[in-house]
Amino acid sequence: MGWKIILSLIFAIFAIFSLVIYWFIPVNTIDFGTKSGNSNFSLNALGSEEAQFYPNMRFPTKTISYRIDNCPLQKKGDMNAAFNILENRTSLTFYPVLDDEQIYVTCDSKAKIEGGMFIAGEGGPTNITSTINFNVILNGKILLIKDSRCSEPNVAIHELLHVLGFKHSNNKNNIMYNYSDCGQTIGQDSIDLIDNIYDVPDYPDLAIENVSAVMNGKYLDANISIRNNGLRRSSPAKLIISADDKVVKEFDVKGIEIGYGTIITLSNVWISKISIDELNFLIESDFKELEKSNNQIKLKIKK
């Protein structure tokens, strides 16, 4: 009778030990591999690569602030007239501020441009953030040296278009030609390009750029890269990780600035399911984005 009790205890201990090994101690490795996200967003900005310094250059919104500093009345008037002309010809709106401007205008030829020279001429973007979809202009500067002798403020318009990302034109009749002439006009292709690029709403766009995952026994290790490819800072969101449709982990994703990203690393996250065929990584947001299809990546067992 005593031997039966001892054998039963030994068997029970062995069974418990086996279960512990099975459930908690890694005994095999499953590689889910690495996958990059896809984007369905498209912008038909025809001529952008030819007309602009970089493709799809724009400020985050259609409403752009400016400040004019150290300019005589005539040049200040020319600059304000240039803003008004582009407002009337495009979907853009310009408004003056006392500080923290997006476009800084000066007539002081001794003014130094932080970070080096302008991209081109006497005006241009000075702070650009690249995303998958856009080259987002955060700041620009204009240095007005020459007085305009034309009825239209051609010099000011020329430099303002530089700030908006436009480079010089080979067309002598175009206001973006390298040498100024009073008969030059704003090309309709430039107007159309501005309206096309700024037709996209200024939403954020959180995207899972890539994911890699490995299961060591019942423990999950993963790296998830998230980036904001949109036109404004994102609000807080959540990253939800599921194994065969069962949620195993949630993370808070803080707001992300335009063009910036974050990497979330998982280490030894215990999964209770006996077997797993698919892992799902999903960004859950309650705000509008340029697209939602890039908020999710699914990984299947690498065979």
Residue bearing the bigger pLDDT, 179 or 276: 179
pLDDT above 70: percentage of residues in the chain? 78
Its pTM stands at 0.81
What value does the mean pLDDT take over residues 260-273? 83
Query: Hey, what CATH topology would domain 48-197 get?
Result: Collagenase (Catalytic Domain) (3.40.390)
Mean pLDDT check: name the lowest of 30-34, 211-215, 276-280.
30-34
pLDDT digits (tens, 9 = 90+) for 74-122: 999 999 999 999 999 999 999 999 999 999 999 876 655 544 433 334 8
Burial 190-204 (b: 16+ CB within 10 A, else e): beebbebbbebebeb
Mean predicted lDDT score pLDDT of the chain? 83
- Looking up tokens 């499953």 gives 30
Flag whether pLDDT at 42 surpasses 60.
no
Q: Which band of pLDDT confidence, cut at 50, 70 and 90, is reported for residue 13?
A: low
Count CA atoms within 13 Å of residue 172 on its CB side.
Answer: 0
Q: d(Cα 291, Cα 61) in Å, to the nearest integer?
A: 17
Q: How deeply is 280 buried, as exposed, middle or buried, from its count of CB atoms within 10 A (0-12, 13-18, 19+)?
A: middle
Per CATH, the homologous superfamily of domain 26-42+203-300 is Immunoglobulins (2.60.40.10)
pLDDT at res. 111: 53
pLDDT tops 50 at residue 252 = yes
Topology match between the domains 26-42+203-300 and 48-197 = no
**Domains of the chain by residue range:** 26-42+203-300, 48-197
